[in-house]
Structures are given as C-alpha cells and as structure tokens.
Amino acid sequence: MSENIKRFFSRLKLKFYLWLVKGGNIVKREEEISPYEKTCFMICLKLMKQKNTKLSIAPMSNKRYLENKDLSIFITIADGRINLTNHVYHYDVKLSSRDWERITYVFDSETEKRRLTYEETVNSQIKNSLHSVLEKLSNFKEDSIN
C-alpha cells in the first residue's frame, strides 16, 4: 500500500511542477497569431501564385526566396520567420509553427509545379527521338567517313 501512496505523491508532485512551468494553466494553449503574421502570410501566398515572381531555394541553409521585381518585393523565408523587404520598409515576422509548415509546403509545391512545367517545355523542344537518331545512323553511309 505504501508503494501506491509514494507513486501517487510523485505523480502529484510532477503535475504540480508542470502546472507551475506552464504558468498555472494545464489546458494546452494555442499559439496566438498576430495580425502582422496573418498579413505577411497572405502576401507570401499571393506572391507565390504570380508567374512573374521568382522562387529560389538555398539547399544548404534551407532558406526560401521570393522576388518580384515588378512589385519591388523581396522575401526570405527561413527558420520560422519571414523577412519582407521593399525599397521603403523591412519587416521581420515570426510565424507560428502551423503557419511555418503551411508556407513551406505551399512554397515547395509551387516550386515543384514550376519545375514540372519547365521540364515539359524542355522535353517538348526535342526534335529527334532515339528511334529517328538510330534511323539516321543506319542510313548514314560508311563510305563518307573514309
């Protein structure tokens, strides 16, 4: 019986410690989203969808870049933050973890979609198939080499 009592008090002590650490609130708190974060998030989404926006990724630093020269906007997305710069202002906005995951997913999806379009364009430029190259080689006279 004393073993159960010891376990009960050790758990009670742990719950009290967690309650103190969390500021006296055991209920899970949602991350608060500031109006700046919402606005910056929407700017990024709208900018990504525009065809004249250049999307880049730096694989070593895992930074993502948006650049729209027509609107004079340059955005860096890295480490849970968005840095938005135009020629007048600079904003540094911290994202919630949920918005960070969403913005990187949308960015990566848009980049992948553009890559596929680019590859299709490149592949459509191919004039000769392997079969036609083989035919040309087969019809090529060996006498013309000598």
DSSP string of 15-54, one letter each residue: HHHHHHHTTS--SPPPPP--HHHHHHHHHHHHHHHSTT-E
Residue entry with tokens 């000769």? 128
Per-residue pLDDT tens over the stretch 16-56 = 777 776 665 544 555 677 888 899 999 999 999 999 999 99
Supply the pLDDT for residue 6. 80
- Which tops the pLDDT comparison, 129 or 64? 64
Condensed to tens digits (0 to 9), the pLDDT of residues 69-114 reads 999 999 999 999 999 998 889 999 999 888 999 999 999 999 999 9
pLDDT given at position 16? 76
The neighbour count for residue 64, using CB atoms within 10 Å, is 21
Please determine, for residue 145, whether its predicted confidence score (pLDDT) is greater than 60. Answer: no
Reported pTM: 0.65
In the three-class reduction of DSSP (H, G, I as helix; E, B as strand; rest coil), residue 61 is classed as: coil
Residue 3 clears pLDDT 70, i.e. is over it: yes
Q: Are 95 and 103 in contact (CB under 8 A)?
A: yes
pLDDT of residue 48: 92
